Amino acid sequence: MLIVKSLCTEYPGDRGEAVRAARDVSFAVPDGKLFTLLGPSGCGKTTTLRSIAGLEVPKSGEISLHGKVVFSSAAGVSVAPNRRNFGMVFQSYAIWPHMTVYQNAAFPLQVRRDRPDRKKIADRVMRVLSAVALDDVAERAATKLSGGQQQRLALARALVMEPQLLLLDEPLSNLDAKLRERMRFELKRIQRELALTTVYVTHDQNEALALSHEIAVMREGRIVQIGSPREIYERPCSRFVADFIGTTNFIDARVIEENGDDRCRVATPVGALDVRCLDRMHRNEAAIVSVRPEDVELSEQAPEAGGADAVRAGVVDAKAFLGEHLDFQVRIGDLVLLARAHPSLRTPVGEKIFVRLRAEKCIALRAASAGP
C-alpha cells in the first residue's frame, strides 16, 4: 500500500517567490492497483509523481510504501531515489542513446549493490525483453528503435528491477493515436498480470478511464476528486471534473424540492426536471445540471414519458458525422444541448426532434462548488 499524506512541493519561481506545484495532496494506492493522476497541463501531476520518486524533495508531507516511510518532513526522513527501488518510465522515455537495447535493460541490475552474476542478469533481462516483445532486437542500438519500441524498452527497464512501485509519467503521450490505443491494452495487461502497484500520470481522460482502478483528478496542485473511473465519469463532484472528463451539457437550475436521499426536483430553462444530487441540496439553492451527450436520448417519434424521465420537443440546430456516432445540437427554447446518437438517426437540420432526459443520468451540482 502506497500512502501519500498532505504532500506539498514548491519550486522557486522567477522572482524568488515559491510556485506551489502540489498542495496538500493525499491518497492511498492498495497493493496491485493502478492509480491515475489526471488533470490539465501544469496542474502538478508530474510534480507529484517526481516527489514520490524522490526526484523532487517535497516541502512537507509524508510518503510511505508497505508501512516503510520513504519521505517524511516531520521525521526528517528522505530516502535517496536510487535507494527506493521504484521503477519509473519518463515522459521522454529517457532511453540511453549510447547503449544497446540489452544494455539499457540490464543497467538497473548492473548497478545494484547485490549485483547478480552475469548469467542471472542475462536471464532476467531476456525474460523481461520477451515480455515486451523486444527480445529479437536486444543487440540493436537503442536509438534505432521506433517510438513504440522505445516506450516498451522504457517499461522493460523499469520492470527488470522488480520494483516495489511503478511510476509512469504520460508513457503513451509520444505515440500516435493507433499505437497509443494498442499500448494502452498492453500496459493494462502487464500491470494486471504482474499485479504491480502503479501510479500513472496522464492528461488523457480516455486513457485514465480505460486503465485505472482509481483516478484522482487534479487542478492547480490539488486533488479535487478521487474515485473509480465509473464514479468519476457518472458522478463528477464539480463542474470542473464533469467538464474535464468527457464532454457534458450544463444546464443552470434551481432546486424546487428534495425527494429523499439523492433525488431532487429542479427548475430549469426547459422546465422542471427530476435529477440526482450527490450532496444534500436545499430548496432554492442554485445548481447546475450536468448531462452527458450520450445520455441525451433522441427520437423522431414522441417516446412515452415514464416515471421521472422528462421528454421535451426540440429542433435540430446542427449535426456532425463522426463515424461511430453522430453529434446533434438540439435547440429547446433558448437552450442548446449536445446529443450523441447512433448514426442510423437521420433527422435533417431544422426538423423537429424529441429529447428524453433520464433522472438518474442528470447530475445536479452545487453551483457554488461548481466553480467557473
Ligand X SMILES: Nc1ncnc2c1ncn2[C@@H]1O[C@H](COP(=O)(O)OP(=O)(O)OP(=O)(O)O)[C@@H](O)[C@H]1O
**Binding interface with ligand X (CB under 6 A):** 11, 19, 21, 39, 41-47, 203
Interaction partner, residue 44 (Mg ion, another protein, ligand X, none; CB < 5-8 Å by kind): ligand X
Q: How far is CA 63 from CA 29, 70, 111, 118, in A?
A: 11, 6, 25, 35
Closest separation in Å from C-beta 188 to ligand X: 21
Q: Does 246 bind another protein (CB under 8 A)?
A: no
Closest separation in Å from C-beta 29 to ligand X: 18
User: Interaction with Mg ion in 46-75: which residues (CB under 5 A)?
Assistant: 46
Q: Does 259 bind another protein (CB under 8 A)?
A: no
Three-class DSSP category at 55: coil
CB 274 within 8 Å of CB 331: no
Q: Does 303 bind another protein (CB under 8 A)?
A: no
The residue type at 237: C
| Pairing assessment for the beta strands 271-277 and 310-321 based on DSSP bridges | unpaired
* Residue choice 111, 302, 318, 322 for contact with another protein (CB under 8 A): 111
Query: DSSP letters of 65-92?
Result: ETTEEEEETTTTEE--GGGT-EEEE-TT
Closest separation in Å from C-beta 21 to another protein: 11
Cβ closer to another protein: 97 or 343?
A: 97
**Nearest to 174, CA basis, from 157, 154, 194, 188:** 154
Alpha helices in the chain (DSSP H): 45-53, 101-110, 118-131, 147-160, 177-194, 205-211, 229-234, 239-244, 367-370
Cβ closer to another protein: 22 or 357?
A: 22
**What gap in Å lies between CA 62 and CA 77, rounded to an integer?**
9
Helices and strands, number each (H, E), in the chain: 9, 21
**Residue whose CB is nearest to Mg ion in the complex, by number:** 46
Closest separation in Å from C-beta 94 to another protein: 4
Cβ closer to ligand X: 219 or 331?
A: 219
Query: DSSP letters of 200-230?
Result: EEES-HHHHHHH-SEEEEEETTEEEEEE-HH
Interaction partner, residue 185 (Mg ion, another protein, ligand X, none; CB < 5-8 Å by kind): none
Instruction: Considering only the stretches 155-163, 179-187, 279-287, 294-302, report the one whose residues sit in contact with another protein under the rule CB under 8 A.
Output: 155-163
Beta bridge partners of 35: 199, 214
Closest separation in Å from C-beta 97 to another protein: 6
Closest separation in Å from C-beta 13 to ligand X: 6
The footprint of another protein (CB under 8 A) covers 46, 53, 55, 57, 81-88, 90-92, 94, 96-98, 107-108, 111-113, 143, 154, 157-158, 161, 167, 169-170, 174
The footprint of Mg ion (CB under 5 A) covers 46
